[in-house]
Amino acid sequence: MLNDLTLVATQQFVEAVTDPEPATGWHVDQDPHALSAVLPTADQIRDQAWTDLDQFADVRGDCDAVNIAFNTPSGMPWTLDSGLWAQRIWSPSEAAGGRNPCIPVPGGDTYFNVSADQSVYVVAVGESFTITATAFSDEPRAGWDLSMADRTPITDTTPSYLRFEIDGAEVKPWVQIPCVNNGTELQIKVTLLADPATIPASFGSYTQGAWPQAEGWLLSSDVNAPGSPSHIWPFSVVTPAIAASIGLSNAGLSASAN
């Protein structure tokens, strides 16, 4: 009970300092529902896949969202000397440097992940594109598992939007590919199976942003490491028509800001 109390209290302290009124303080770059009258910036388009993560928006929620995505305990707590929990906080500078973005980082924790070469891919329904996925870690470590998933909201009539293949063989969602490591590069073929424009504007707990997009995840996990850490890298897929509506070329958008 006391652990839960201190964790929630430190969450609220962080929010009060950085984002006292949602979407006006330190926050992911856009309120997606306010973009319908103007073309979004490149940064706003890049952010949309991250914004769609549950609760992903501010420096407190960001570190919650990564764990909620994996159905692990919320809060990614930091254990104080007293044994009580405190909220870890998202650091843009650490994330930009390819290090664990949720600070403080527990001793002995080595950050690892797999990145996609683009944030947004543009492709027509029924056509495919290739992701160059690169594994990285901030220190040498043992290999870890990679899986991928279609995280687009589905309906009875549209059971999936994305299909994944490696070396000509389909990779089912959540099936783990063992032992990628720092510097491993994979070519992942992705096919858009249905038009994201068919995604309901509201579906269960999902509420669509300013434009419809299919969303994929690259998921890195290591069940052999203490705490079974997992890390995520989302990307989005839009059709040429959707791309045109938001001012994006058919080349898509790279993962970097350059």
pLDDT at 25 (0 to 100): 60
pLDDT at 5 (0 to 100): 78
Q: What's the gap between Cα 83 and its chain centre?
A: 30
Position 173: which residue type?
Answer: P
Q: Which CATH number fits domain 110-258: 3.90.1150.10, 3.40.50.150, 2.10.109.10, 2.60.40.2410?
A: 2.60.40.2410
pLDDT at 62 (0 to 100): 59
pLDDT at 68 (0 to 100): 42
122 HSE (CA, 13 A, CB side): 17
Per-domain boundaries in the chain:
1-32+40-104, 110-258
Q: What is the pTM of this model?
A: 0.83
Element (H, E) at 185: strand 185-192
- Mind listing the pLDDT tens digit of every residue in the chain (258 residues)? 677 777 777 777 777 777 666 656 655 555 544 555 578 888 888 888 877 665 455 665 657 645 444 444 433 567 777 777 777 777 778 888 888 888 888 777 788 999 999 999 999 999 999 999 999 998 899 999 999 999 888 777 778 999 999 999 999 988 999 889 999 999 999 999 999 998 877 766 666 667 889 999 999 999 888 777 888 899 999 999 999 999 999 999 998 643
Q: Which residues of 141-176 are buried (b: 16+ CB within 10 A; e: fewer)?
A: eebbbbbbbbbbbeeeebeebbbbeeeeeebebeee
pLDDT tens digit string along 39-77? 888 888 888 887 766 545 566 565 764 544 444 443 356
Own/partner contacts of 100-107, CB < 8 Å, gap of 24 or more, are 100/138, 101/62, 101/63, 102/62, 102/63, 102/66, 102/76, 104/78, 106/78, 106/79
Tell me if residue 105 falls in helix, strand or coil. Answer: coil
Q: Where are the alpha helices (H) located in 70-216, listed in sequence order?
A: 92-96
pLDDT at 124 (0 to 100): 98
